[in-house]
Structure 1
Amino acid sequence: MDIDLNSALVLAGVSLISALVAVFLLPFIPRRAPSPGAESRNSMVFLFDGEHLVDATPDGRRFLAGGPKGLTDWQRFCALIVPRFPGFPERMERLPKDGSALLTEAGGEAQLTATWLDGVIRLTLQMPRFNEDAGLTDAQSLAALTAELATLRDVVEAMPTPAWQQDDKGGVAWANSAYLDIVRSRHDKGQIVWPLPVLFSQPKGEPGAPHRQAIDTGTGTGRERWFDCVAVEAHGASLHFALPADATVRAETALRNFVQTLTKTFAELPIGLAVFNRKRELVLFNPAMSELFNLEPEFLTGRPTLLNVLDRLRETRMMPEPKNYRSWREQILRLERDASDGVYSDTWTLPGGQVYRVTGRPHPDGAVAFLFEDISTEMSMTRRFRGEIETGQAVIDSLPEAIVVFSSAGVLTLSNSAYAELWGEDPRLVMGTTDIAGATAKWQAQCLLTQSEAAADLSHRIRQREAWSCELIRRDGRRLDCFLKPVAGGCMMVEFRAASQADTAGARPVPRASMG
């Protein structure tokens, strides 16, 4: 009985000591790992044989289906994994030698385990477990986020512009379908290689500033395609976008060629051209501007104002000298105002004898263009021709015979003072306005009617440019001898002489006719 009591006391002591030890050591015992069933609910397993997916869990197949289209199974998996697990390609290259690898998600809690199984790669993607106590999203919100993610993926894949993500080493970690299409077109067999090649160079300059570059898209046409590339930083990732710029480049090239053509044309023009912007600064000029006014190119390229240019012209006596400075300034202001309205035109006679025609034309955005044309030769010829005409007119005015000349079109173009005195017409009023019919009608009205067909015959003879003569009897009794003579240029001259002068000359052509 005592032995049993002692045994019971020892057993009770050992139990108490064990309980106390368990209480003190329980906090230091590690927690039990989750059951295989719980782990499988948060893990995705993949088996790859080269580029081909041998098998995968249902969640893994759904995960893989969200990758870019047109890629192999392995390339699609890489496109989804590389942005989240930096260094994945390098670890996979060493996997046959290392045998296994463990990677942790950058900025996350997911883990990726890789195992080499005699040429087959087993990948296990362990995702963070769903925990409502941690304040995670409920099932409905998670479904909404999943739907939004699917929409965003569809938008990115449907983008017609290339978009891609680069890692810290400058390699392409992810790209959309537009980028992959270019990669595929550049490959001889139209295949995608992984890792993806870098098609666009790194931008230089300020972050986020677009830069333009051209790449060969491999279409076989030999023509490059231009893109405006933009890089942005988002949550530590480097995102890049390439906007097509072919239309812009073509427009800029066409504009550049057009400007070059205009520049060459302006350079060969003998007319001086000066274009002033809305601030009245010289922004464009041609060599003739410098040659006409003896202006230094350095002065013109310094963007002088309109007043500075005119001041220089006044100093070098290359513009008309005004009577006083104030009136000259008012004239300059009027010149600028009239030119901007498109109505300014003037002729400058310089002290050296040159004559310039100045024309002001308005341009868009308030700019003004001035054209300076040297018309010295033209003015000299005009003066000479005017002098010759005046001399010729003075000569025929000194003749006693009445003379009138009709052009080949039958219009009165020349007459002398004797003709005006005889028929009572001012040559300055009838010149260019009277034809053969009007002139012969006036002659008939002042002559006696002796032959009914005389007027019609005279008019017909003038139009036929035939040498002919007739006699006219005026109502005041004076007799006139009328002579028709063809002259150069298809013109016809009609000469009226007093009958006594014709008799004295002894050369009275026949037939004779009277006109009433």
Structure 2
Amino acid sequence: MIPRLRAVGQDMTVDWVFAMILGATSVATAALALLVLPLVPRLGRPEKAAQGEADMVFLFEGEQLVDATPEALRFLAGGPPGLSDWHRLCALVGPRFPCFRDRMSRLDREGSALLTEAGGSSQLSATWLDGVMRLSLHLPEEVRAQDTPDPQSLAAMAAELTTLRDVVEAMPTPAWQEGEEGAVAWANSAYLTLVRRCQGTDTPLSWPLPALFSPPDKDDNAPHRAVIQTDDGREHWFDCVSVTADGALLRFALPADAAVRAETALRNFVQTLTKTFAELPIGLAVFNRARELVLFNPAMLDLFNLEPEFLTARPTLVAVLDRLRETRMMPEPKDYRTWREQIVRLERDAQDGVYSDTWTLPSGQVYRVTGRPHPDGAVAFLFEDISAEMSLTRRFRGEIETGQAVIDSLDEAIAVFSGAGLLIMSNAAYAELWGEDPMLVMGTTDIAGAIARWQQNCMPEDTGTTLELSRMIRQRKPWSGTLVHHDGRRLACRLRSVGGGAVLVGFRPDCQVQGAQPEVSRAVG
């Protein structure tokens, strides 16, 4: 037992000695590192940056800001508003690092980039970390020590200020700032030019500038239209817009001369159309895409005895036609199904621009209805009262039929040729004599064709007579003669002018010759 305890004691002594040696070695190594580490050059980092770690660090995944230090967020807040974080950073650092965009576009291939300000001490380092871009913006120590904007922000703000000044001065529309009492505190070049045009070019400008436009209503920045008169006596219209920014009133005047002229022309055109439609005896009804009545003229009230309240309530096409059916102001349908089919056909044909129909009302009135498509799916209907026209047509048709019946009752074969030489009238005796249907040859047969028909049905020895008749017809001179039909009948032919350049040709049996033929036959017998 005693030798074993002695061996255990010796082992414990060895462990303590080893532990003490290991601790001393660690302390010596740490001390040596503290002494040597400041002497080792820092590879890949600028000497200026060794004075302190950068305050602005950005992490971007594409153009999306993933994370940033508080100082970096304050730096981005000074960029142009309305842009994404990436484009705002580009606008801020672009003036100091012109090749920033180009180097960042190649960062995924190069892995890292170091940009140094030309003529300055600011530096920007970038590292590509598996799809994430880490940007570190290093500022000089003296800039961080002072509570002043960094040079990048100052350069960005100066560039933005210059751009804004150029934009405002180049604006073609007047812009100005007004104080609490309505005095002009600032104005752009367009406003100054307008002041010169109002006061005259000979009058020098003085400060404060005159207020050309009346101030807007209190607590009302809604756009309003104003007119001013220039030195040459012309009136110019403007659409004035007011914006309140940081307690100051910014006003803008947009030229509206073209809009006023267009509105005036449109108003005059609408008034002219309104007067024309009001005096038009033809009823006009326009239905929009939803088939609601959006426009009508007073003739609709007179033609269909409709109430103004009904039409102004924007009834549908079906409702209007249903009202006309109820008041018996359209042809009475056989049944309701036929009526619905008629409405569908009317709307479909009007959309295609082919609807045209004549409505004969139970009262005896006759309306011509025409449907025409309009832009944006609208449909317009025209209703014209043609009762007088139809009555006159019927009367003329009756007179023509009566005249035709009169000449058909004559034994003399009559044909009338117009001034153009076309056959415009003939009777039944003419059709029987020459074997022509008047319904087929009317308006198609001319003088030459008729004479050829006569020669074909006459004896050859009478060719000279037909030629003389042809010449006399063309000369419109009175003439009389005889022809011998191929059946042996002798025909007394006469030619008379009947006015309007028309000429009448008549054929009748020669009674004297026909009565003498039996005597000659008996004598020969």
Q: What TM-score comes out, normalization by structure 1 length?
A: 0.69
**In structure 2, distance between residues paired with 1:380 and 1:134:** 104
Deviations 1:90-128 (A, max 9, x none): xxxxxxxxxxxxxxxxxxxxxxxxxxxxxxxxxxxxxxx
- The equivalent of 1:175 in structure 2 is 187
Q: How does 1:141-156 map to 2 (within 5 A)?
A: 141-156=153-168
- Tell me: CA distance 1:431–1:206, structure 2 relative to 1, closer, same or farther (3 Å): farther
Residues 262, 212 of structure 1: CA spacing in aligned structure 2 closer, same or farther, 3 A cutoff?
same
Q: 1:474 to 1:489 in 2, by over 3 A?
A: same
Aligned to 1:164: 176
2:503 is aligned with 1:492: yes
Shift of the alpha carbon at 1:316? 1.4
Give the fraction of aligned pairs with identical amino acids, expressed as a percent. Answer: 71
Cα distance in 2 for residues equivalent to 1:432 and 1:407:
9
Q: What's 1:322 paired with?
A: 333
| Residue of structure 1 equivalent to 2:211 | 198
Which whole-Å deviations, capped at 9, do the CAs of 1:281-328 have from their partners, x for residues lacking one? Answer: 111111111111111222222222212211221121111111111211
2:385 to 374, 378, 382: 374
Tell me, yes or no, if structure 1 residue 404 matches structure 2 residue 415.
Answer: yes
Query: Could you say which residue in structure 2 is the equivalent of 1:59?
Result: none
Partner Cα separation in structure 2 for residue 186 and residue 468 of structure 1: 90
In the other structure, the counterpart of 1:107 is: none
SS at match of 1:408: coil
Alignment counterpart, residue 241 of structure 1, candidates 252, 265, 276? 252
Would you say the 8 A contact 2:465–2:483 is kept in 1? no
Contact 1:207–1:232 under 8 Å retained in 2: no
Q: CA deviation at 1:141?
A: 3.7
Structure 1 unaligned residues grouped into runs of 5+: 1-129, 506-516
- Distance apart, 1:223 and its partner CA: 2.2
After the TM superposition, list the runs of 4 or more consecutive aligned residues in structure 1 that deviate by more than 6 angstroms: 501-505
User: What displacement does 1:451 show?
Assistant: 4.7
Work out the CA distance in 2 between the residues paired with 1:372 and 1:139. Answer: 80
Indicate conservation of the 8 Å contact 1:411/1:434, yes or no: yes
Match of 1:138 in 2: 150
Matches of 2:293 and 2:377, distance apart in 1: 13
Give, in whole Å, the separation in 2 of the partners of 1:135 and 1:341: 77
- With 341-350 and 483-492 compared, the bigger mean Cα shift is at 483-492
What is the 5 A alignment of 1:102-501? 133-187=145-199, 189-203=202-216, 209-216=222-229, 218-220=230-232, 222-500=233-511
The Cα of 1:373 is off from its aligned counterpart by 0.4
Further displaced range: 368-377 or 285-294: 285-294
Distance across 1 between alignment mates of 2:512 and 2:277: 64
User: Mean Cα displacement is larger for which, 356-365 or 178-187?
Assistant: 178-187
- Maintained 8 Å contact 1:271/1:372: yes
Aligned partner of residue 250 in structure 2, secondary structure:
strand
8 Å contact from structure 2 (residues 417, 502) kept in 1: yes
Deviation at 1:201, TM superposition (A): 2.9
Report the number of matched residues.
374
In the TM superposition, residue 203 of structure 1 has moved relative to its aligned partner by 3.9
| In 1: Cα distance, 2:146 partner to 2:248 partner | 27
Distance in 1 of aligned mates of 2:143 and 2:227: 50
Contact 1:402 1:417 in 2 (8 A): yes
Whole-Å Cα distance in 2 between the matches of residues 502 and 337 of structure 1?
A: 70
RMSD of aligned Cα (Å): 2.2
TM-score, structure 2 normalization:
0.68
